[in-house]
Chain A
Amino acid sequence: MSPTAADFEHATCPIPIADYPHVLLAHGGGGRLSQMLVERMFGAAFSNPALDERHDGAVLDLPQGRVALTTDAFVISPLFFPGGDIGSLAVHGTVNDLAMCGARPAALTAAFVIEEGLPMDDLWRIVRSMAAAARGAGVPIVAGDTKVVDRGKGDGVFITTTGVGVVPAGVHVSPRLARPGDRVLLSGAIAQHGVAILSVREGLRFETEVRTDSAALNGMVAAMLDVGGDRVHVLRDPTRGGVSSALNEIAQAARVGIHIDESAIAIAEPVRGACEILGLDPLYVANEGKCIAIVAPEAANAVLAAMRAHPAGAEAAIVGGVREGPAGKVFMRSRIGGERVVDMLSGEQLPRIC
């Protein structure tokens, strides 16, 4: 009998390791091995009524409202990093994209492209982590697909998650809605995810381990919308490209100027140290558990309080404001009182020479 969702978390890999220590091409071939992988691993770990139907797709009863739909491909290397892995990231990323639309996430699907030879135990670790992340966010994984590609044609595993959610009545969130006078709220310390990944990828060690901030934000966002309603104008998770790219996109979409204050933006000491050493600007480094909210001034304090009441937003702060102009630009007041433009990232940030 398959383990149930409640007792699988510490369970050992359900695929007999002695028989299959590594994923084989046949595990994606549609035959008996495929079925074993789907039933014993994915089906057991993700078990929920819609998935347990074992239909070609999931049939869902959604609450009333506008439907939000998003998809994201996760190709991260390394697969495991301090504080998370590709599995938890694939769940958090898509849940957060839905939340940033103002939607309550209702369900996810997951497609796995696995490279032949991936250790079965690694796959099990990833699946278990996905299941835990989905349960933590309260969003079921209701359908999925698995393919196995030849060794050398993938990077361990690629995961694509698609999410569907419902935007409640009275919620209108869009980057175009930022207005002069609005406040800019940021849910916590920046640049953790990017630095955590870089430190593993490049074998860099710091005195304190930097962990990813990867987290589901739908709970916090629901609380923010409960108190802020349609006075929450913009929500955005500053992932790739960091806070600066997210703010620039908003400034351009709404044709407004965004002004932020460097000293109001929290950065953990080890993250700041790593960025100083490597020559990276933390404003351009990725986050996976942070939210920027642009909120009407009269609602800013209530929304900030809702953020701070949630573990994902304990360090939330008002970091700036929206002005008429210069349209499409982001400005930052530096720590010493100077002012500069914060531009979009061009290309990748590359570590400097000296």
Chain B
Amino acid sequence: MKFVDEYRGEAETKQLVAALRVRVTRPWTLMEICGGQTHTLIKFGIDRMLPEGIELVHGPGCPVCVTPLEQIDRAVEIARRPGVIFTSFGDMLRVPGSRTDLLSVKAGGGDVRIVYSPLDAVKLARANPARQVVFFAVGFETTAPANAMAVHQAAHLGLENFSILCSHVLVPPAMEALLSAEDNRVQAFLAAGHVCTVMGYHEYPAIAARYRVPIVVTGFEPIDLLQGILMAVTQLEEGRAEVENQYTRSVTFRGNEPAQRLLAEVFEVCDRAWRGIGGIPRSGWRLRAKYAGFDAESRFDVSGTTAPESPLCIAGQILRGLKKPHECSAFGVQCTPEKPLGAPMVSTEGACAAYYQYGRRG
């Protein structure tokens, strides 16, 4: 398959690993931002091919994982209301809120539906004028343009029965929050290729300079990741801290500018709480006043009181790269994909789920 097979070759893999061995003279700690990258690393066994001393810690780039508990509770509360069709991407449905998850709401009679695009939710709203259709708009800069488009279309169509429960988060402020933490271990970033496809990487040179940290925009296939690691390690070994782009087949410096214009039209930057990490200033998007009528939080008046996170779950330390999933005492014992205590065990992009699914039990 084009754009897949050429990035999964065994010979190229061996070449890159050999090149990395030649390059490395001392230990380095790198963070891959995106959960999709984490899964590729574990699924293909890449982390175990790396020379000793190169450690990859897994970043916060899992939209399901960082969506706050109270936002899940709000989703549950809205989905339970009669007359509501609650729509979401599939992997949000299993994420535990403080009391229950959306799949259980569905089993209890709520009309909860998986959609593959927020535009499908707009279609549902048109087809069901007597029902309120709500879309759970979570995710990073990657999913935001489609969600902005859905709101824009709904406004254009004058739909009064469509709204989004918005929980968008932004990568660069999270990188800065990680780097400025006292216990930070990250010496270089593999930036998330899909986020940069939308946003470009013009925001990164300032971060690289301020924190003296190499940033390599990296793709998601095995060869992409090995190339990204090699580029980052080369910078570290040479004492450079620059922004480089490994994922040139998809990412440009300025990114997708029409998408960015649409995002700026519909959303504005706001402070946002990240599950497991806490509040990060100017790290999210909310609907602009002009589109406030499409905000499900105000439409359904969900304030959402919430219970504390499970005391056993160390998701915050995992999402900040301080611990590996199998270092958690609950991992695979009290916390499994069947009965997750925290979101990283739920999502296909969560680090705990990756470790569990691919058999990294210790």
Contacting residues, chain B, for A273 (C-beta < 8 A): 1
B1-45 CB mask vs A (1 if < 8 Å, else 0) is: 100100011100110000000000000000000001000001111
Q: How far is the CB of A326 from chain B (nearest CB, A)?
A: 9
Contacting residues, chain B, for A352 (C-beta < 8 A): 89-91, 347-349
- Contact of B337 with A337 in the complex, beta carbons under 8 Å: no
Q: How far is the CB of B45 from chain A (nearest CB, A)?
A: 2
- Contact of B91 with A353 in the complex, beta carbons under 8 Å: yes
Could you say which of B134-142, B199-207, B253-261 contacts chain A?
B134-142
The reply on A335 being an interface residue by CB < 8 A is: yes
Contacting residues, chain B, for A339 (C-beta < 8 A): 45, 48
**In the bound complex, how far is the Cα of B46 from the Cα of A276, in angstroms?**
19
The reply on A204 being an interface residue by CB < 8 A is: yes
Contacting residues, chain A, for B252 (C-beta < 8 A): none
Please judge, given known A-B contacts A329-B359, A334-B45, A338-B48, whether A351 and B1 are in contact too, CB under 8 Å. no
- Contact of B42 with A340 in the complex, beta carbons under 8 Å: yes
- Contact of A336 with B336 in the complex, beta carbons under 8 Å: no
The reply on A269 being an interface residue by CB < 8 A is: yes
- Contact of B13 with A337 in the complex, beta carbons under 8 Å: yes
Could you say which of A29-37, A134-142, A304-312, A342-350 contacts chain B?
A342-350
The reply on A279 being an interface residue by CB < 8 A is: yes
Contacting residues, chain A, for B114 (C-beta < 8 A): 202, 350-351
Contacting residues, chain B, for A279 (C-beta < 8 A): 348
- Contact of B347 with A347 in the complex, beta carbons under 8 Å: no
The reply on B357 being an interface residue by CB < 8 A is: yes
Of B140, B222, B359, which contacts A354 at CB under 8 A? B140
- Nearest A residue to B141 via CB reads A354
The reply on A341 being an interface residue by CB < 8 A is: yes
Q: How far is the CB of B118 from chain A (nearest CB, A)?
A: 11
**In the bound complex, how far is the Cα of B45 from the Cα of A353, in angstroms?**
23
Q: What number of A residues sit within 8 Å (CB to CB) of B?
A: 26
The reply on B94 being an interface residue by CB < 8 A is: yes
- Nearest B residue to A267 via CB reads B1
Contacting residues, chain A, for B91 (C-beta < 8 A): 350-353
The reply on B358 being an interface residue by CB < 8 A is: yes
Please judge, given known A-B contacts A336-B9, A337-B13, A347-B337, whether A354 and B139 are in contact too, CB under 8 Å. yes
Of A202, A269, A337, A350, which contacts B10 at CB under 8 A? A337
A268-308 CB mask vs B (1 if < 8 Å, else 0) is: 01001100101100000000000000000000000000000
A243-277 CB mask vs B (1 if < 8 Å, else 0) is: 00000000000000000000000000100110010
**In the bound complex, how far is the Cα of B49 from the Cα of A346, in angstroms?**
28
Please judge, given known A-B contacts A202-B116, A343-B358, A350-B348, whether A338 and B49 are in contact too, CB under 8 Å. yes
Q: How far is the CB of B284 from chain A (nearest CB, A)?
A: 16
Q: What number of B residues sit within 8 Å (CB to CB) of A?
A: 44
**In the bound complex, how far is the Cα of B193 from the Cα of A41, in angstroms?**
58
Of B8, B139, B358, which contacts A353 at CB under 8 A? B139
**In the bound complex, how far is the Cα of B120 from the Cα of A204, in angstroms?**
11
**In the bound complex, how far is the Cα of B94 from the Cα of A350, in angstroms?**
9
Q: How far is the CB of A329 from chain B (nearest CB, A)?
A: 7
- Contact of B358 with A351 in the complex, beta carbons under 8 Å: no
User: How would you classify the secondary structure of chain A's contact residues: helix, strand, loop or mixed?
Assistant: loop
Contacting residues, chain A, for B337 (C-beta < 8 A): 346-347
- Contact of B1 with A269 in the complex, beta carbons under 8 Å: yes
The reply on B64 being an interface residue by CB < 8 A is: yes
**In the bound complex, how far is the Cα of B223 from the Cα of A334, in angstroms?**
13
Q: How far is the CB of A242 from chain B (nearest CB, A)?
A: 14
- Contact of B359 with A343 in the complex, beta carbons under 8 Å: yes
- Nearest A residue to B221 via CB reads A336
Of A334, A336, A347, A354, which contacts B143 at CB under 8 A? A354
Contacting residues, chain B, for A347 (C-beta < 8 A): 94, 337-338
B183-208 CB mask vs A (1 if < 8 Å, else 0) is: 00000000000100000000000000
- Nearest B residue to A201 via CB reads B114
Q: How far is the CB of A292 from chain B (nearest CB, A)?
A: 20
Contacting residues, chain B, for A335 (C-beta < 8 A): 8-10, 44, 222
Contacting residues, chain A, for B93 (C-beta < 8 A): 350
Contacting residues, chain A, for B348 (C-beta < 8 A): 279, 350, 352
The reply on B92 being an interface residue by CB < 8 A is: yes
Contacting residues, chain B, for A343 (C-beta < 8 A): 356-359
The reply on B63 being an interface residue by CB < 8 A is: yes
- Nearest A residue to B63 via CB reads A353
**In the bound complex, how far is the Cα of B353 from the Cα of A352, in angstroms?**
13
Q: How far is the CB of B62 from chain A (nearest CB, A)?
A: 9
Contacting residues, chain B, for A204 (C-beta < 8 A): 116
Q: How far is the CB of A200 from chain B (nearest CB, A)?
A: 14
- Contact of A276 with B358 in the complex, beta carbons under 8 Å: no
Contacting residues, chain A, for B360 (C-beta < 8 A): 341
**In the bound complex, how far is the Cα of B44 from the Cα of A337, in angstroms?**
8
Q: How far is the CB of B286 from chain A (nearest CB, A)?
A: 19
Of A202, A339, A346, A352, most B-chain CB atoms within 10 Å: A352
Contacting residues, chain A, for B36 (C-beta < 8 A): 354
**In the bound complex, how far is the Cα of B189 from the Cα of A219, in angstroms?**
56
**In the bound complex, how far is the Cα of B116 from the Cα of A335, in angstroms?**
29
Contacting residues, chain A, for B9 (C-beta < 8 A): 335-336
- Contact of B4 with A276 in the complex, beta carbons under 8 Å: yes
B322-348 CB mask vs A (1 if < 8 Å, else 0) is: 000000000000001110000000011
Q: How far is the CB of B283 from chain A (nearest CB, A)?
A: 18
- Contact of A276 with B142 in the complex, beta carbons under 8 Å: no
**In the bound complex, how far is the Cα of B1 from the Cα of A269, in angstroms?**
7
B contact residues vs A (CB 8 Å cutoff): 1, 4, 8-10, 13-14, 36, 42-46, 48-49, 63-64, 89-94, 114, 116, 138-140, 142-143, 194, 222-223, 336-338, 347-349, 356-360
A contact residues vs B (CB 8 Å cutoff): 202, 204, 269, 272-273, 276, 278-279, 329, 334-343, 346-347, 350-354
Q: A346-B336, A353-B347 are in contact. List 19 more A-B contacts (CB 8 A).
A: A269-B1, A278-B116, A329-B359, A334-B44, A336-B10, A336-B44, A336-B46, A336-B222, A336-B223, A337-B10, A337-B14, A340-B42, A340-B45, A343-B358, A350-B93, A350-B114, A350-B348, A353-B139, A353-B143
List the 9 closest A-B pairs by CB distance, nearest first.
Answer: A338-B45, A341-B359, A350-B90, A346-B337, A351-B90, A336-B13, A353-B89, A354-B142, A340-B358
The contact sample of 7 A-B pairs, CB cut-off 8 A, is: A340-B43, A341-B360, A343-B356, A350-B90, A350-B114, A353-B63, A354-B63
